[in-house]
Structure formats: C-alpha cells, structure tokens
Amino acid sequence: MLKRIRKSALLCIIPIAFTLTTATAQADSDSSLYSRLGGFDAISAVVDDVVLQIAADEKLGRFWAHRGDDGITREKQLIVDFVVAKAGGPLYYTGREMKLSHKGMRISQQDWDTLITALKNTLGKFGVPARESQEVLEFFDSTRADIVEKP
C-alpha cells in the first residue's frame, strides 16, 4: 500500500513540477531586460568595466582626461541610471537628453565603434547571454544618431 501511495504521489508531483518550471521559464523570458541582466549591481559592474576600457583608450581617453574622481563617478552614475531606466528598472534618469549632452564633443563613428567594441568585450567577459547582449547592443545603437556627430 505504501509503495502505491508513493508512486501515486510522485505522479501528482511531476506535472506540478513541470508546470512550475515552464511558468518560471516563461516569466524569465517575459521579464524586463533589467531583471534578465541581473539588476542594478550587474549593470553598474558592466558600466564600470566599459568606462575603464574607454578611459584607457588612446583616443577615447580624451573624454575622461583632466576630470576629477567625483566627476567621473557622477558620469558613470548617470550612465547607470540611463541604462537601468531604459532597461525597465526602477530608476528615473535625470540627466540631459543624449543629443544635448554630447553636442560639440566631436564623437565620430570610429569613437562609437570603439565604445561598442568595449561593450561587446565586457558583455562577453561577464557571460551575458546572447539574447540579452543583443538587446543591450540594440539599445545602445538606438542612441547613436544623437551621440555621433557627422564630420
């Protein structure tokens, strides 16, 4: 009798476990990019890594040169806030519009390509899945026209 109860209980649990697993997978695929990226700390770590790469770049370093630590920290936080807000997270971006904040900086297509290479390197380094990496790259690309100045 005990074997029959265990077998019967197991047969009842399997469909429930499958339903929960399927529901969790569905919720993950429907969740915000912010959630799928790992939230604030993960986005902040990605921004820190990308900024380190572009600040060390021979050409892009000009945008970070002669800036105090506080100014760099503020810029990184604005980038984090922007990405978090646009990815569906709980922050509100209070900075200026992209076009206004980058006007006159003479950011070229080559500069942009260097940034995107740094971003791709970082996404790979952190093991961000292909779907989320693609969404992040598409998100950044949506700002390109407001940031890159025509020669």
CATH class for domain 32-147? mainly alpha
- pLDDT at residue 101, rounded to an integer: 92
Residues 6+ apart with CB under 8 A from 81: 91, 92, 93, 94, 95
What does the pLDDT look like over 94-103, one tens digit per residue? 999 999 999 9
CB 106 within 8 A of CB 34: no
Domain boundaries, the chain: 1-30, 32-147
- Mean pLDDT of residues grouped by 10 in the chain (151 residues)? 44 39 46 96 96 93 89 93 95 93 94 96 96 95 94 81
pLDDT confidence of residue 17? 38
Quote the CA–CA distance of 3 and 77 in Å, as a whole number. 60
41 with 48: CB under 8 angstroms?
no
